[in-house]
Amino acid sequence: MSKEGESSDGRMGVWLDMWDNGGMSEFQVNKPHPKIQEHYEFYTSGNPDATLFFPLCGDMHDMVVLGGKGHTIVGVECSETGIKTFFNKNKIEFTEEKCDAVKGKCFKSKDGRYRMYSCDIFDFNKSAEG
Ligand SMILES: C[S@@+](CC[C@H](N)C(=O)[O-])C[C@H]1O[C@@H](n2cnc3c(N)ncnc32)[C@H](O)[C@@H]1O
């Protein structure tokens, strides 16, 4: 990437621009998604400690709901603004560090329960998670 979140074909440029210039409000839903509630048992396999993966996560409200139940949340989002919005609006303190494995950065809550990668989804791979 030449700069934050920008891939060689620029496919993320529209999203980065929307996050940075106030165009994301139509996508931001500040309440739990009914389907995520409905299928909870299925995608956690009934495991209350399951780590849950949210590709293209933005600042999705369900992440804080599920993190609050005790799940570890791993998100991938190209916009650092989107990730910081998630942490700030939920008043979760975080650190950020470069992450070469995804050609981006990793933002983590202090307790490590929330881990958000700012990168192109096509650059994400499990090695970042160890
Ligand atoms: C329609 S929004 C969905 C946000 C979230 N899943 C929700 O339901 O609230 C799509 C999100 O994917 C991110 N995104 C788009 N292309 C991406 C890519 N190639 N890699 C990582 N994130 C990307 C955008 O910045 C945006 O936040």
Residues 70-99 pLDDT 10s: 999 999 999 999 999 999 999 999 999 999
Structure tokens at 47: 């495991």
- For the CA of 33, the closest atom of ligand 1 is 8
Ordered domains of the chain (ranges, CATH): 29-129 (3.40.50.150)
Specify the amino acid at residue 76: V
pLDDT digits (tens, 9 = 90+) for 5-30: 455 457 899 999 999 999 999 888 88
Residue 1 is predicted with a pLDDT of: 47
Question: Pick the residue with more confidence: 108 or 6?
Answer: 108
Residue 97 is predicted with a pLDDT of: 97
Closest residue by CA, ligand 1 atom 9: 60
Closest residue by CA, ligand 1 atom 24: 15
Question: What count of other Cβ atoms lies within 10 Å of the Cβ of residue 70?
Answer: 10
Nearest Cα neighbor of 87 from 111, 113, 59 is 59
Specify the amino acid at residue 30: N
Nearest Cα neighbor of 50 from 58, 42, 61 is 42
Closest residue by CA, ligand 1 atom 10: 56
Residue 7 is predicted with a pLDDT of: 55
Closest residue by CA, ligand 1 atom 11: 56
Distance (angstroms) between ligand 1 centre and the Cα of 60 equals 10
Q: Where are the alpha helices (DSSP H) in the chain?
A: 13-20, 34-38, 40-44, 61-68, 80-89
Q: Flag whether pLDDT at 42 surpasses 90.
A: yes
- For the CA of 59, the closest atom of ligand 1 is 9
What residues are in contact with ligand 1 under a 6 Å CB criterion?
11-12, 15, 19, 27, 29, 56-58, 60, 76-79, 82, 120-121
